[in-house]
Amino acid sequence: MGAGTEDNASFPAELNNLPAGFNLQAKETISGSTFYQLLQEQGLEYGPSFQAIEQIWLREGEAIALLHVPEEVLNQAHSYQVHPVLLDACFQVFGATLSQTTDKGSSLTRKRGTYLPVGLRSLRVHTYPDYLTGALWSHVLLKSQEIQGDQTTWTADLELLDTQGHVLLEVQGLRVQQLASETHNPQQKELSNWLYTLNWHPLAPPAPRHHKSSQELEIVEAHIPKVEYLQS
């Protein structure tokens, strides 16, 4: 299914096991392949190993996405408490939610710029995901928008759930900002393919690390101090 709008399009039947508040009406759906194609057209190219989204259901300020860990990383998934590909996919859903909120009409057909995470209030892992059992769900809910001059900061809460509706991971107060260079010059000409070409080279996976005995991991009030460097 490609990008487009569907009035009163219900979330999939598989979501009936999720908490009652998730049984909402989606106004737009987009397939994972179309989503990554649109991102590539905007200059954000994700390799096959980082394409974990299969489908996204969108409404104003909210989204639910169906996730599957790519086969390329399944053999190393249990070397991590939460695989970076899975966490990054949840952040990608945040971007889709943001685009749906800031555009009119078909949300992902317009360039929205590049947003970087700049901090979060808390991250808690309740149960380590079972990557081999199939589907996982990412839920994103926008909480606030803050405008200072020409810089906009968005804040959202994220959850990763299994097919039974159990919350595996939750991120509260994740904040993202648009790159300053794009904010200052929104009409900048397209420069893709002028200077660089992406060439992916396989690397050996890192050695497995022992997990902590506790089933819960919590990070509180994390900041990313180098984001100013990336914005320059």
The enclosing domain of 140 has a CATH number of 3.10.129.120
Residue 107, pLDDT score: 46
Q: How many residues does the structure list for the chain?
A: 232
Q: Which of 23-32, 120-129, 210-219 has the lowest mean pLDDT?
A: 210-219
Could you give the percent of the chain with pLDDT greater than 70? 62
Residue 201 inside a domain? The answer is no
Helix, strand, coil percentages for the chain (3-state, nearest 5): 25, 35, 40
State the Cα angle at 60 between 57 and 63, rounded to 5°: 30
Residue 194 inside a domain? The answer is no
Residue 88, pLDDT score: 92
Residue 204 inside a domain? The answer is no
CA atoms of 157 and 136, how far apart (whole Å)? 17
Average pLDDT for residues 142-160, to the nearest whole number?
A: 89
pLDDT in tens, 58-98: 888 888 999 988 887 787 777 788 888 889 999 999 988 87
Residue 188 inside a domain? The answer is no
Q: Which amino acid is at 225?
A: P
Q: Quick one: which H or E segment has residue 41?
A: helix 32-41
Asked whether residue 6 carries a pLDDT value surpassing 80, the answer given is: no
CA atoms of 67 and 89, how far apart (whole Å)? 8
Residue 11 binned pLDDT confidence (cut-offs 50, 70, 90): low
Counted domains in the chain? 1
Residue 205 inside a domain? The answer is no
Residue 203 inside a domain? The answer is no
Residue 105, pLDDT score: 44
CA atoms of 98 and 141, how far apart (whole Å)? 10
Q: Please, what is the average pLDDT of the chain?
A: 74
Residue 225, pLDDT score: 56
Contact indicator for 166, 149 with CB cutoff of 8 Å = no
CA atoms of 39 and 226, how far apart (whole Å)? 24
Structural domain for 101, as ranges: 4-180+211-231
Asked whether residue 216 carries a pLDDT value surpassing 70, the answer given is: no
Contact indicator for 160, 136 with CB cutoff of 8 Å = yes
Residue 71 inside a domain? The answer is yes
Contact indicator for 30, 55 with CB cutoff of 8 Å = yes
Residue 225 inside a domain? The answer is yes
Residue 110, pLDDT score: 43
